[in-house]
């Protein structure tokens, strides 16, 4: 059916209800709609507190803060101490205004606490939505295939996870990144140039895109300190665990990856960095094509060879996203592997030569290792998705 340019959106006004806590006389105003942010708050609060009551209280707090018609807006600590009736009324109101959620809720053991049943039902519903999105995406093949495959890979891996907080985080960020990717081909020349410079600058500061925050590299940071501060917010423990899990599934050298993970988890960051440098460099060496007695390049030479072999046109309509990933990744790798120049001046980012030759005057940090894990992750995906497509065309 031809698209006629007309879009119709049905707006459903939420119902608002007042719940009165007879124990202390407080009133809480709640909405029948669960927003994306509400789900985020629910899962992240439980991950932090391991309390279903506190997790549900956090949503009641969000609702009352938005819809409260009377003062005061009670602190979260007050709502957490609310009577059981408040939680019962809240859950009953929410699930009875969402048929799908109600069906999931009713299929959960009714001997469990109401707050726990609600939490589990929300998680099941989220997974159900994710399966629908994944099915739709598998049927959808626009020109920006690179972005779709990154999203699909992230989504497939996310579906295997059992903890709802990481699931929500990965889904929302990956989908936002995918949606943003779809807009890139329509950017004007000056907008593209800003994106290109931003991607390169992030790489020069040692950062490549986290698995579920591709949009990180699209806004240029003021300096390396700001870049570190912003990037680390996207690299919590669940993110690092997630990308290591993906790398493992991708067949990254199992023994080396296991050793790097062990060193990272046990705060042996210098050992972790050395192993990761080795994994990255081995991939760059193995991807080289030599003729006759020609030797393959190592360190910065290997980076430059692979960068030249898989150069991406930044002006191409269908390859613009890939070009941002390419520029960001190889700017980063060149910084990591650049020559030491007699070790006179140590760069601000971690450097393979200073570390491997014992000439670094700085302590290798957790952040350094996160940067290396990210670089490895992005290199794996770049070689698998984009580089492999080039090789098939040759």
Tens-digit pLDDT profile for residues 60-101: 888 877 765 555 567 777 777 888 888 899 899 989 988 888
Length of the chain: 394
Q: What is the pLDDT of residues 196-239, one digit of tens each?
A: 999 999 999 999 988 767 667 888 999 999 999 999 988 888 78
Q: Is the pLDDT reported for residue 164 higher than 60?
A: no
Same domain for 359 and 246: yes
What mean pLDDT do residues 17-42 have? 77
Split at pLDDT 50, 70, 90, the class of 347 is very high
Cβ 320 vs Cβ 314: under 8 Å: yes
User: What pLDDT is stored for residue 200 in this prediction?
Assistant: 95
* One-letter-per-residue 3-state SS of the chain: CCCCCCCCCCCCCCCEEEEECCCCCCEEEEECCCCHHHHHHHHHHHHHHCCHHHHHHHHHHHHHHHHCCCCCCCCHHHHHCCCHHHHHHHHHHHHCCCHHHHHHHHCCCCCCCHHHHHHHHHHHHHHHHHHHHHHHHHHCCCCCHHHHHHHHHHHHHHHCCCCHHHHHHHHHHHHHHHHHHHHHHHCCHHHHHHHHHHHHHHHHCCCCCCCCCHHHHHCCCCCHHHHHHHHHHCCCHHHHHHHHHHHHHCCCCHHHHHHHHHHHHCCCHHHHHHHHHHHHHHHHHHCCCCCCCCCCCCHHHHHHHHHHHCCCCCCCCCCHHHHHHHHHHHHHHHHHHCCCHHHCCCCCCCCHHHHHCCCCCCCCCHHHHHHHHHHHHHHHHHHHHHHHHHHHHC
The tally of CA atoms less than 13 A away on the side-chain side of residue 145 is 8
What mean pLDDT do residues 175-182 have? 48
**Per the domain annotation, does 4 fall within a domain?**
no
User: Directed axis angle between helix 224-233 and helix 189-204, to 10°?
Assistant: 90
Please tell me the total count of domains within the chain: 3
- Greater pLDDT, 118 or 249: 118
**Per the domain annotation, does 134 fall within a domain?**
no
What percentage of the chain has pLDDT greater than the value 70?
74
Same domain for 212 and 341: yes
**Per the domain annotation, does 2 fall within a domain?**
no
| Greatest mean pLDDT range, 238-242, 254-258, 334-338, 378-382 | 334-338
Round to whole Å and give the CA distance between 274 and 253: 14
Round to whole Å and give the CA distance between 269 and 193: 36
Cβ contacts of residue 284 below 8 Å, gap of 6+?
302, 303, 305, 306, 333, 379
**Per the domain annotation, does 313 fall within a domain?**
yes
User: What pLDDT is stored for residue 362 in this prediction?
Assistant: 94
Q: Is the pLDDT reported for residue 2 higher than 60?
A: no
**Per the domain annotation, does 96 fall within a domain?**
yes
Round to whole Å and give the CA distance between 314 and 328: 12
Q: Is the pLDDT reported for residue 335 higher than 50?
A: yes
What is the distance between the terminal CA atoms of the chain, rounded to a whole angstrom?
37
Round to whole Å and give the CA distance between 66 and 81: 20
Same domain for 256 and 110: no
Same domain for 203 and 318: yes
User: What pLDDT is stored for residue 392 in this prediction?
Assistant: 47
Angle at 103 between CA 98 and CA 109, to 5 degrees: 125
What mean pLDDT do residues 313-335 have? 81
* Alpha-carbon distance values, 136 to 132, 153, 159, 232 (Å): 6, 14, 15, 32
Give backbone dihedrals phi and psi of 200, rounded to 5 degrees, phi first: -65, -40
**Per the domain annotation, does 9 fall within a domain?**
no
User: What pLDDT is stored for residue 1 in this prediction?
Assistant: 35
Average pLDDT score, the chain: 79
Same domain for 299 and 362: yes
Same domain for 303 and 210: yes
Same domain for 320 and 263: yes
**Per the domain annotation, does 5 fall within a domain?**
no
- Greater pLDDT, 250 or 346: 346
Tokens of 297: 């390049």
Split at pLDDT 50, 70, 90, the class of 375 is very high
Same domain for 293 and 211: yes
Q: Which range among 102-111, 311-320, 339-348 shows the weakest confidence by mean pLDDT?
A: 311-320
From the centroid of its chain, how far is CA 329?
17
User: What pLDDT is stored for residue 123 in this prediction?
Assistant: 87
**Per the domain annotation, does 130 fall within a domain?**
no
Q: Give the residue numbers spanning the domain of 165.
A: 141-183
Same domain for 221 and 153: no
Q: What is the CA radius of gyration of the chain?
A: 25
Tell me which residue of 59, 95, 74 sits closest to 20, measured CA to CA.
74
Same domain for 330 and 189: yes
Q: Is the pLDDT reported for residue 268 higher than 70?
A: yes
Same domain for 286 and 244: yes
Round to whole Å and give the CA distance between 252 and 231: 24
* Alpha-carbon distance values, 252 to 241, 282, 283 (Å): 15, 11, 9
Same domain for 226 and 357: yes
């Amino acid at each position: 059916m031809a698209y006629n340019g007309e879009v119709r959106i049905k707006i459903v006004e939420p119902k608002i209800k007042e719940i009165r806590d007879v124990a202390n006389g407080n009133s809480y105003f709640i909405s029948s709609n669960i927003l994306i942010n509400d789900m985020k708050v629910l899962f992240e609060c439980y991950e932090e507190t391991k309390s279903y009551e506190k997790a549900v209280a956090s949503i009641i707090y969000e609702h009352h803060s938005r819809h409260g018609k009377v003062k005061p807006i009670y602190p979260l600590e007050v709502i957490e101490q609310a009577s059981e009736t408040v939680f019962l009324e809240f859950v009953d109101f929410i699930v009875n205004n969402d048929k799908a959620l109600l069906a999931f809720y009713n299929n959960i053991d009714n001997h469990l606490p109401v707050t726990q049943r609600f939490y589990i039902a929300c998680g099941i519903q989220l997974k159900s939505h994710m399966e629908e999105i994944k099915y739709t995406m598998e049927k959808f093949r626009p020109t920006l295939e690179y972005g779709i495959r990154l999203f699909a890979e992230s989504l497939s891996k996310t579906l295997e996870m059992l903890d709802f907080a990481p699931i929500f985080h990965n889904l929302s960020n990956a989908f936002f990144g995918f949606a943003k990717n779809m807009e890139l081909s329509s950017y004007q020349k000056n907008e593209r140039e800003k994106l290109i410079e931003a991607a390169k600058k992030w790489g020069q500061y040692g950062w490549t895109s986290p698995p579920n925050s591709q949009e990180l590299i699209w806004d240029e940071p003021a300096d390396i300190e700001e870049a570190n501060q912003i990037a680390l917010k996207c690299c919590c423990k669940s993110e690092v665990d997630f990308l290591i899990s993906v790398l493992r599934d991708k067949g990254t050298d199992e023994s080396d990856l296991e050793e790097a993970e062990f060193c990272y988890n046990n705060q042996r960051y210098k050992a972790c960095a050395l192993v990761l440098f080795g994994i990255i460099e081995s991939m760059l060496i193995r991807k080289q094509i030599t003729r006759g007695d020609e030797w393959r390049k190592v360190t910065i030479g290997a980076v430059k060879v692979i960068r030249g072999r898989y150069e991406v046109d930044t002006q191409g309509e269908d390859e613009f996203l890939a070009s941002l990933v390419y520029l960001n990744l190889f700017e980063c790798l060149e910084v990591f592997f650049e020559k030491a120049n007699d070790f006179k001046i140590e760069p601000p980012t971690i450097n393979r030569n200073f570390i491997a030759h014992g000439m670094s005057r700085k302590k290798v940090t957790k952040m350094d290792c996160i940067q290396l894990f990210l670089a490895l992750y992005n290199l794996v995906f770049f070689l698998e998705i984009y580089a492999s497509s080039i090789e098939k065309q040759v």
